Amino acid sequence: MKSFSETYLKKLHIGSITAGSNVLMAPLAGYTCYPFRMMCRSLGAGLAFTEMVSANGLKYNDKATAKLLYTTDAETPKAVQLLGSVPSAFEAACKGRYTEAYDIVDINMGCPVPNIVKSGEGCALTQDLPLASKIIEACKRSGKTVTVKFRPGMNRSRIVVTEFARMCEDSGADMITVHGRTRNMMYDGEPVYEYIAAAKQAVSIPVIANGGIHSDEDAVRMMEQTGADGVMIARYGLEDPLIFVRLTGKSTDASKLSLILEQSELAESCFDETAAMDYVRKIASYFMKKLPGTKTCKQEMFRCGSMTELRRILARIFGETEK
């Protein structure tokens, strides 16, 4: 099997914006804050999206929501993901001060979580094409580049991937990302390549393939089977962010130890010590997956009381595994 970088790697043109590669990092609630996004970008990701942000929360100037949008000039281009179901709230969010620095607005029309769907948000929007269209048009009125992430349908008897993809393009979307699982599949099972391929065949805007990519081989297989314009890595990016290096062929001597220590320093510069430590513990826990003795290591991490102590523990844990 040929490598991704040899066969499929390219720059990605999204409206008037060009991303450095067609390997993207998905928005993940609780994880894709500024430090994590910057790490992914440094390793080769063409874009890394913020965790999903409530459009309505920004409308009411919710401080906790606004904190999710921390960024600096070092992050470019910038991509924010918004969640909601009210077109006017999306328009206000896109035109508001909290998203002013962001170049790309991604609309979450794929979240399968029950509370989100019951609220008429996320994947529920695949059942209401007129409303979904109004949301896209509302975002486009901000002048920003607009992308949409969605699933093929609620279940296999309610597949709307072709018509939904066309609606996105007709409403002004500059790119779509298709998660290859239906809503009832949640995050389990093999993605259905045919659904993503159908979306690619239906539109002329870029189509990004997402779902079930847990290795370099999975990324190549996804491109082979779907004809997509790129891939979006999700939870595997937390476990092994060096996948971005392997897929893009970027030159680096980074290790998990150097990455986690860099993350600790960047987090400290963005957040207070408590928030920074909470974030580093979460990321380190993912980095440790499949390593022996992780239970004891995690207990040590969560008992420590300062970032200095946490760094010493991390240096020992990852230093030993990388010898």
Euclidean distance between CA atoms 73 and 7, whole angstroms: 32
> Are the C-beta atoms of 183 and 123 separated by less than 8 Å?
yes
Average pLDDT over residues 88-97: 95
Measured CA to CA, the distance from residue 36 to residue 68 in angstroms comes to 12
What are the pLDDT digits (tens) for 243-255? 999 999 999 999 9
Phi/psi at 301 (nearest 5 deg)?
-60, -45
CATH 3.20.20.70 placement within the chain: 4-248
Q: Which of 33, 94, 111, 168 is catalytic?
A: 111
Rounded mean pLDDT, 281-285: 94
pLDDT in tens, 23-48: 999 999 999 999 999 999 999 999 99
State which H helix or E strand residue 147 sits in: strand 145-150
DSSP string, 55-80: HHHHHTT-HHHHHTT---TTS-S-EE
| CA separation for the pair 200, 177 (Å, rounded) | 10
Report pLDDT for 158: 92
Q: What does the angle CA 51 – CA 44 – CA 270 come to, to the nearest 5 degrees?
A: 45
39 touches 74 (CB < 8 A)? no
Would you identify the CATH topology of the domain 4-248?
Answer: TIM Barrel (3.20.20)
- Which structure tokens are listed for 195? 């659904």
Q: Name the nearest CA neighbour of 257 among 291, 217, 232.
A: 291
For residue 63, the model assigns a pLDDT of: 76
Q: Cβ–Cβ contacts within 10 Å for residue 157, how many?
A: 8
Q: What is the CB neighbour count within 10 angstroms for residue 119?
A: 14
Other Cβ atoms less than 10 A from the Cβ of 316: the count is: 13
- Residue 304: active-site member: no
Task: Give the pLDDT of residue 321.
Answer: 62
Contact yes or no for 69/55 (Cβ under 8 A): no
What pLDDT is stored for residue 18 in this prediction?
Answer: 98
Which helix (H) or strand (E) is 311 found in, with range? helix 307-321
